[in-house]
Structure 1
């Protein structure tokens, strides 16, 4: 899969494609249906399939502190898009210049002059351009004038509810990981590099891997039963994701993972943490002794639940 960062990096050989546009946060089952349809159109026309995304996502640009927490970082999103058979990704920097493009300027610069789109799949509620003035009807009208077709991406439903990134965040917040897996088409996980932290967990008798999140907030908060694949072996563990209120955290989300029966060195490694069950909410304790007691109780609960699950 080819990644093109910005309109300025498009070259003549990039012209002529089938495209879709969106955030694709989580690359969930609804997105996967859109991408399969994109691949079918691309194969039929003998053209590459291109996904247009924005970085940062528009709501992160306008209101970074209140934007929804990401399900996937850019790096992970790109890997998931590649798994779905996408040929090319055009990643546009969402900045003042892009925000101020009129809807017609966006169509001209991105879709016509930039990508030479022959077919476009978007949701019928898709809005774009300055002040979100552009809509599906305008795309169809301009497509008829400029030789490309536009189709509405079908909504995918699960148990009568639309599959969306918002819905995935909702079920994750509720701790319903089985439902999240159905919506995503895979277990929910977070991937990041293990960094050196405060070493507080080691002093409390519970050494943790401090996993880099690279985001202001996360879609989860609390203590969870988790697993990590290391060198082909599934390691069982417990993770805390939150602001670490007992130790005067910085207000940002942190992910700390303790593997129950592992003594190796993880520093510098990229690991994928798979979330299986919520054990409790994150809370502020009055002392480190109380925190240490709670951590020991979390470990005991996780061990019992892992044992019950593995012995089924």
Structure 2
């Protein structure tokens, strides 16, 4: 798996490829359908499969003050694309120059000349180009596409309608990580470097790995049953507080997983923590004894839930 960027020439082995094009934040069931169709074409024709994404997300460029909304980092997307069969990930750096490119120029100059794409596959609702003037209809216009073919993949739907990143965000903000996981086909997972903290948890028998939420969407604050993935491949069950720690001052927004039966040092390591189930909202307790008693109950509840999930 190779990571390519739009500011460098595309290496020869990846030209004349099939490009799955989209934002692909979250890489949910609908995104997976787009890449699966592109993969089928690439394999049938013996071409490389490139999954192209944008960074930063166009919304972040046009609305820099928007609250955090990302579901995946570039590193996470790269791993997801590789697992879906991509030969390379192409990152379009979204800046003022790209924002000003017309839809036709993006097709002919960027996808055609720069990338050397033979075929483009998008979702049916994908838009691109200055003013969002490009869409699946433009990609299907022979006068515009010249030697590049295209396909548009319709939405993947369920009883509630089309599956989308917006629905996943709503589920997470509503404290329903199970619904988000169903739409993503995996739990929503936060990846970050473990930081040094106040070390209060270790004094009450609950040492935690402090993680900054960065640009991730903020799910509902509260206590979660979680599953951690360490760089060495170990998988750890645990319970975590996600929020501002109302028991302590000053407020500090963190994800703080406590892993069961684990006493190792994680400082400075980049780990992943998957949110499995939301147990309760954050709360303030009348002293540390009451807090620890509730943490004992939370841990027991998390263990019961995680024991049922492989």
| Structure 1 length-normalised TM | 0.87
What is the match of residue 296 of structure 2?
Answer: 299
Contact 1:65–1:216 (Cα < 8 Å) also in 2:
no
Alignment partner of 1:228: what SS? strand
Tell me whether 1:162 sits opposite 2:156 in the alignment. Answer: no
Contact 1:7–1:110 (Cα < 8 Å) also in 2:
no
Residue 145 of structure 1, CA deviation? 4.7
Q: Are residues 18 and 310 of structure 1, via their aligned partners in 2, closer, same or farther at CA, if it must alter by over 3 Å?
A: closer
Tell me whether 1:248 sits opposite 2:245 in the alignment. Answer: no
Residue 179 of structure 1, CA deviation? 2.5
Residue 175 of structure 1, CA deviation? 2.9
Equivalences for 1:1-312 in 2 at 5 Å?
1-67=1-67, 69-141=69-141, 145-215=145-215, 217-229=217-229, 234-244=235-245, 246-249=248-251, 253-283=253-283, 285=284, 290=287, 293-307=290-304, 310=307
Tell me, in whole angstroms, the C-alpha distance in 2 between the residues paired with 1:109 and 1:244.
51
Residue 240 of structure 1, CA deviation? 1.4
Residue 300 of structure 1, CA deviation? 1.7
Which runs of 5 or more structure 2 residues have no equivalent in the other structure?
A: none
Deviations 1:156-196 (A, max 9, x none): 11334211111122222233333323211123322222121
Residue 204 of structure 1, CA deviation? 4.9
Q: Are residues 55 and 233 of structure 1, via their aligned partners in 2, closer, same or farther at CA, if it must alter by over 3 Å?
A: closer
Residue 4 of structure 1, CA deviation? 0.6
Deviations 1:273-310 (A, max 9, x none): 22222122235x4x8x6466335403323314524764
Residue 207 of structure 1, CA deviation? 1.9
Contact 2:209–2:257 (Cα < 8 Å) also in 1:
yes
Deviations 1:176-232 (A, max 9, x none): 333323211123322222121232333455321012433264334221121224566
Alignment partner of 2:119: what SS? strand
Tell me, in whole angstroms, the C-alpha distance in 2 between the residues paired with 1:6 and 1:138.
22
| Structure 2 length-normalised TM | 0.88
Tell me, in whole angstroms, the C-alpha distance in 2 between the residues paired with 1:213 and 1:308.
24
Tell me, in whole angstroms, the C-alpha distance in 2 between the residues paired with 1:208 and 1:260.
10
Tell me, in whole angstroms, the C-alpha distance in 1 between the residues paired with 2:234 and 2:145.
56
Q: Are residues 119 and 291 of structure 1, via their aligned partners in 2, closer, same or farther at CA, if it must alter by over 3 Å?
A: farther
Tell me, in whole angstroms, the C-alpha distance in 2 between the residues paired with 1:229 and 1:139.
40
Contact 1:279–1:298 (Cα < 8 Å) also in 2:
no
Alignment partner of 2:76: what SS? helix
Tell me, in whole angstroms, the C-alpha distance in 2 between the residues paired with 1:97 and 1:56.
13
Tell me, in whole angstroms, the C-alpha distance in 1 between the residues paired with 2:145 and 2:217.
43
Tell me, in whole angstroms, the C-alpha distance in 1 between the residues paired with 2:5 and 2:223.
37
The count of corresponding residues between Structure 1 and Structure 2 is 307
Contact 2:224–2:276 (Cα < 8 Å) also in 1:
yes
Contact 1:238–1:299 (Cα < 8 Å) also in 2:
no
Deviations 1:77-123 (A, max 9, x none): 11111111111111011111111111122112211101222211112
